[in-house]
């Protein structure tokens, strides 16, 4: 959903900028400026620092994604009652609730800061086991019990991490594996070529050509994909592979796949440097399986090497299927 008044960037003025400064300060990224109603270079630096901390696109511009992240950062666990509704509640307090439930052995799903059905089911299960009133609402009594039981728990791995491990291990080859591959624009030929190769290996493949990353994430979830690979072409030379990561949780399977891609593709792109980075961009946050967003360039070289790139990506995926996690 587009938020009125955005984007905010160098030169923007008025009350929206003053509100931005208040939210940045509350999140711990104070932008001490002469005029709080003017977006200056100090504001831009603070926005970029916030974006870096939140693992979203870093450009110093406040777009819908950055503003939403600022709003979510304003919530701490206990600030409000949390429950399942439509639209779903989002915030750092939801992520903290998911992390605490998961560390106590209740499967709240991925620690994505979105209060969905998995989080609601885990909360009800926790309330039942803790002898609380079972209403699916995280309120004062729930927070008090979480704090008391959390202090006694020695678990450092969430149930979501264990479930990911169980789902990905023990497979032999691509036959029957459900894989989603998507592109937002410019890489349809590469996606076509890769999906064709995956199907020859017996995989069930969902091919996505859609500019909206959230639509791609929803489609991959409904398909029941066991992994998602998103491909984007960029003007710069190189290869960067992003996997889902946030405070207290990361997709270990996604990291392993991203590492494989960022190591394998650079030799096909003039030996450019490969980058692996944990992010919480909308697509990575919205998927419910190991997912990687891969950005490659330059365009002319990518177009020339569609066959080589698709073959290499197939090899990386096959290697990942056989060994989806890094030893140790």
Query: What is the model's pTM?
Result: 0.89
Can you tell me the distance from the alpha carbon of 162 to that of 208, in angstroms, rounded to the nearest whole number?
Answer: 29
Residues forming beta bridges with residue 293, ordered by sequence position: 230, 242
Can you tell me the distance from the alpha carbon of 60 to that of 40, in angstroms, rounded to the nearest whole number?
Answer: 11
Q: Which of residues 156 and 79 earns the better pLDDT score?
A: 79
Q: Which of residues 142 and 154 earns the better pLDDT score?
A: 142
Percent of the chain's residues with pLDDT above 90 = 77
| pLDDT tens for each residue of 214-250 | 999 999 999 999 999 999 999 988 899 999 999 888 9
* Mean per-residue pLDDT over the chain, rounded: 91
Domain 169-322 CATH superfamily: Zn-dependent exopeptidases (3.40.630.40)
Can you tell me the distance from the alpha carbon of 90 to that of 95, in angstroms, rounded to the nearest whole number?
Answer: 8
Burial level of 19, CB count in 10 A (0-12/13-18/19+)?
middle
Indicate if the pLDDT at residue 327 is higher than 70: no
Can you tell me the distance from the alpha carbon of 50 to that of 21, in angstroms, rounded to the nearest whole number?
Answer: 12
Topology of domain 15-73, per CATH?
Muramoyl-pentapeptide Carboxypeptidase; domain 1 (1.10.101)
- Both tokens of 233, joined, read 């072409």
Q: Count the neighbouring beta carbons within 10 Å of the beta carbon of residue 198.
A: 23
- At 157 the pLDDT is 61
15-73 and 92-158 in the same fold? yes
Indicate if the pLDDT at residue 328 is higher than 70: no
Can you tell me the distance from the alpha carbon of 226 to that of 204, in angstroms, rounded to the nearest whole number?
Answer: 10
Mean pLDDT of the 88-102 span = 95
* Domain positions in the chain: 15-73, 92-158, 169-322
Taking the CA atoms of 171, 172, 178 and 181 in sequence, report the sign of the dihedral they define. positive
- Both tokens of 32, joined, read 């001490």
Q: Which residues of 268-282 are buried (b: 16+ CB within 10 A; e: fewer)?
A: bbeebebebebbbbb
Indicate if the pLDDT at residue 39 is higher than 80: yes
Q: Which of residues 112 and 172 earns the better pLDDT score?
A: 112
Give CATH for domain 92-158: 1.10.101.10
Indicate if the pLDDT at residue 3 is higher than 80: no
- At 88 the pLDDT is 95
């Amino acid at each position: 959903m587009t938020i009125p008044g955005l984007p905010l960037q160098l030169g923007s003025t008025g009350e929206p900028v003053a509100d931005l400064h208040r939210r940045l300060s509350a999140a711990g990224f104070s932008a001490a400026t002469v005029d709080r109603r003017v977006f200056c270079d100090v504001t831009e630096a603070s926005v970029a620092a916030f974006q870096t901390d939140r693992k979203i696109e870093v450009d110093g511009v406040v777009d819908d994604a950055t503003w939403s992240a600022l709003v979510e950062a304003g919530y701490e666990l206990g600030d409000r009652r949390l429950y399942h509704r439509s639209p779903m509640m989002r915030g750092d307090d939801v992520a903290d609730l998911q992390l605490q439930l998961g560390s106590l052995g209740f499967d709240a799903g991925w620690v994505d800061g979105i209060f969905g059905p998995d989080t609601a089911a885990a909360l009800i299960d926790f309330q039942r086991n803790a002898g609380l009133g079972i209403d699916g609402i995280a309120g004062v009594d729930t927070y008090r019990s979480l704090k008391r039981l959390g202090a006694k728990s020695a678990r450092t791995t969430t149930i979501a991490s264990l479930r990911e491990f169980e789902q990905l291990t023990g497979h032999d080859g691509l036959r029957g594996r459900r894989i989603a591959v998507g592109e937002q624009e410019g890489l349809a030929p590469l996606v076509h070529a890769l999906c064709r190769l995956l199907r020859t290996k017996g995989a069930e493949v969902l091919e996505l050509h859609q500019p909206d990353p959230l639509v791609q994430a929803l489609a991959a979830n409904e398909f029941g994909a066991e992994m998602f690979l998103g491909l984007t072409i960029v003007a710069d030379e190189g290869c960067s592979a992003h996997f889902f990561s946030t405070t207290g949780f990361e997709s270990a399977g996604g990291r392993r796949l991203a590492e494989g891609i960022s190591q394998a593709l650079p030799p096909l792109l003039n030996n450019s440097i490969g980058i692996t980075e944990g992010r919480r961009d909308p697509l990575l946050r919205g998927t419910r399986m190991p997912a990687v967003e891969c950005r490659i360039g330059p365009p002319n070289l990518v177009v020339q090497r569609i066959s080589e790139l698709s073959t290499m990506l197939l090899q990386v995926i096959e290697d990942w299927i056989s060994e989806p996690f890094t030893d140790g």
